[in-house]
Structure 1
Amino acid sequence: MSARKSPQEWTLLFNPNWHQLHVGKCQICGEFCVDTPTPEEAREWCLKHARDTGDDHFELTAFDYCRAVFTDRPSGTNQGKEPRNVS
């Protein structure tokens, strides 16, 4: 058996102080907006960049940061138990 733990023993924790990030990136020159809190603002950045430069190919992405943590739950017991808080 592998030294890795099975997927049931792990969970993802999202830090409540971090927010989802939205990024608009120009596929022509590589310029991008930084730390845009809403998809609308990322889209608006792309349109402004297109007006300012004439570039017309963009990528829109959104992402979250999280950590995978071991839940300390023995297999088959403590179903639904919250994972321990790991900093």
Structure 2
Amino acid sequence: MSERERLRDWAFQLDSEWGLRHVGKCIICGEMSLDSPSEDEAREWCLNHARATGDDHFELFGIQYGSALFREPLSVNGTSPT
């Protein structure tokens, strides 16, 4: 099976239960906040971390969780495609 055929058999499904999550990360020490549904909470974590450590460079990003699901190939007249 070619790489292209292998990729076609999989689908990525976002986890709608989690939605978009936000994370703050300190670029100086690498510490990260817990993921949160609130961008404001992630930003507030960055500010609290700056107050506590003096670190002043951060990355704020959103993430989505999902799963890779195997899709059965469509059959033609009851036979598997080749």
* Structure-1-length-normalised TM-score: 0.63
Distance 1:58-1:10 versus aligned 2 partners, 3 A rule: same
Moved more, 1-10 or 16-25: 1-10
Matched, 1:61 2:42: no
CA RMSD of aligned residues (A): 2.5
User: Which runs of 5 or more residues in structure 1 are unaligned?
Assistant: 76-87
AA aligned to 1:51 is R
**Cα distance change on mapping 1:60 and 1:3 into 2, 3 Å:** closer
Identity between Structure 1 and Structure 2 (%): 51
Matches of 2:27 and 2:12 in 1, distance apart?
A: 32
Q: Given the alignment of the two structures, is residue 35 of structure 1 paired with residue 62 of structure 2, yes or no?
A: no
Closer/same/farther in 2, CA of residues 3 and 48 from structure 1, 3 Å limit: closer
Q: How far, CA to CA, are the matches of 1:4 and 1:53 in structure 2?
A: 48
Task: Decide whether aligned partners of structure 1 residues 3 and 23 sit closer, same or farther in structure 2, where only a CA change above 3 A counts.
Answer: closer
Calculate the TM-score normalised by the size of structure 2.
Answer: 0.65
**Relative to total residues, which structure has the larger helix share, 1 or 2?**
2
Report the AA paired with residue 13 of structure 1.
Answer: Q
Counterpart AA for 2:40: E
What is the aligned residue count?
75
Which whole-Å CA distance do the structure 2 matches of 1:28 and 1:8 have between them?
40
